[in-house]
Amino acid sequence: MAEQQEPVFQIQRVYLKEASLEQPNSPAILLQGEQPAVDIQLGVEAQPVAEGVFEVSVTATVQTQIGDKTVFLVEAKQSGIFEIRNLPDHQMGPIVGVVCPQIVFPYLRSNVADIVQRAGFPPVHLQEINFQALYEQQQQQGNGAAQVQ
């Protein structure tokens, strides 16, 4: 009988993979007194890197506009490398699609707030995300890219 190996779940690294900031209409738009409309899009993606090692990324796009003019646009991708071994197949999806993004998201949230604040604006704090519901929605949509608005 084959010996059952212990499950392994380890965070290897969490890192900011991509970040960009654009203020295409500065400085003129900064002089307007209107409150900008804020649009936030989030996504989750995962891919195997090696045997039992996965990269899980959470992306955020934050765009603020006054009328049809962009005040600022921030795009950021926070990633984590996770070692996940010896888990039953039915547990892998929820681990990669729910647990890993929950670990990565607070770093993304902090980095987005920092980028926006360093650009001279009040920080934008991304709301907490129910990654379980997002994962279930993604499964119902046939494993398409998950989007939250």
Mean pLDDT of the chain: 91
Residue 101 included in any domain: yes
How many domains, the chain? Answer: 1
**pLDDT surpassing 70 at residue 148:** no
Q: What is the CATH number of the domain that holds 102?
A: 3.10.420.10
- pLDDT of 94: 94
- In Å, how far are 8, 32, 79, 121 from 44, measured between CA atoms? 22, 35, 10, 26
pLDDT in tens, 79-127: 999 999 999 989 999 999 999 999 999 999 999 999 999 999 988 999 9
Q: Is the pLDDT of residue 144 over 90?
A: no
Residue 2 lies in a domain: no
Q: Which domain holds residue 59?
A: 8-138
61, 145 in Cβ contact below 8 A? no
* pLDDT band at residue 146 using 50, 70 and 90 as cut-offs: very low
Residue 1 placed within a domain? no
Q: How confident is the model at residue 51 (pLDDT cuts 50, 70, 90)?
A: very high
Q: Is residue 149 part of a domain?
A: no
Q: Report if residue 56 sits inside a domain.
A: yes
Domain annotation covers residue 148: no
Question: What was the pLDDT predicted at 141?
Answer: 83
pLDDT for 18-33, tens place per residue? 999 999 999 998 888 8
What are the two backbone dihedrals, phi and then psi, of residue 47, each rounded to the nearest 5 degrees? -150, 145
Q: What confidence score (pLDDT) does residue 1 get?
A: 47
Residue 44 forms part of a structural domain = yes
Query: Is 145 within a domain?
Result: no
